[in-house]
Amino acid sequence: MATQLNNLSGYDPDLMPNAADFTFGVVVAEWNHEITESLWQGVKDTLIQNGVKEQNIIKIDVPGSFELTFGAKILLDKPNIDAVIALGCVIRGETPHFEYISQAVSNGLTQLNVMYRKPVIFGVLTTNNLEQAQDRAGGKYGNKGVEAAVAAIKMAALNANFTSM
C-alpha cells in the first residue's frame, strides 16, 4: 500500500512556493463529518503555515461526497479563487454504492480540472473501513488534508507562472 510508504503530512516547507497572494476554495462533505473536519483542519493549518491569509480561505460545506463536484464548480466560478480543494470520505459498505460514489466524484472533479483554468485537488478518502479513514485523517499515516493543501499551493503557483507567460 502506497500510504504505508509515505506520511501524508510530510513535505519540505523550504520547497514550497510563496502562497501569500493566493485564494483557495475548500469544499467539504458533511458525510463522515469526524473525518472530513479533520481533513479540513489539516488543509486550513497547512495553508496558513504557508502564508495564506485566513480571509483568503473560502470554505463551503456540502451534504456528501457526491455533491463535492457541484460545490467545487460554485467556487471555480468565483474569479478570485486560485485553486479548489475537495474534501470527502467514502467508506465501503455492503452495497455497490461505494463504487458509484467514488467513481462519480473522481470523474466529476477530473472534468472540472479540464473545464477550468484552475486546479481542483482531490482530497477524498476512499477506504474500506472507518479505521483506514482515521489513519489518513490525522492518524498513523498523517493527514490527507495536509497533502491536498500542499498540492493546491504547488498547482496554484504552477498555474500562475504559466498564465503570466
**Per-domain residue ranges for the chain?**
22-163
pLDDT digits (tens, 9 = 90+) for 54-84: 999 999 999 999 999 999 999 999 999 999 9
pLDDT given for residue 57 in this prediction: 98
In the sheet that holds 83-91, the strands lie side by side as 57-62, 24-29, 83-91, 120-127
Closest by Cα among 45, 27, 28 to 84:
27
Residue 163, pLDDT > 80, answer: no
pLDDT at 90: 94
Name the active-site residue from 34, 97, 115, 131.
97
pLDDT exceeds cutoff 90 at 9? no
CATH class of 22-163: alpha beta
Q: Is residue 97 flagged as an active site residue? A: yes
Q: Is the pLDDT of residue 15 over 90?
A: no
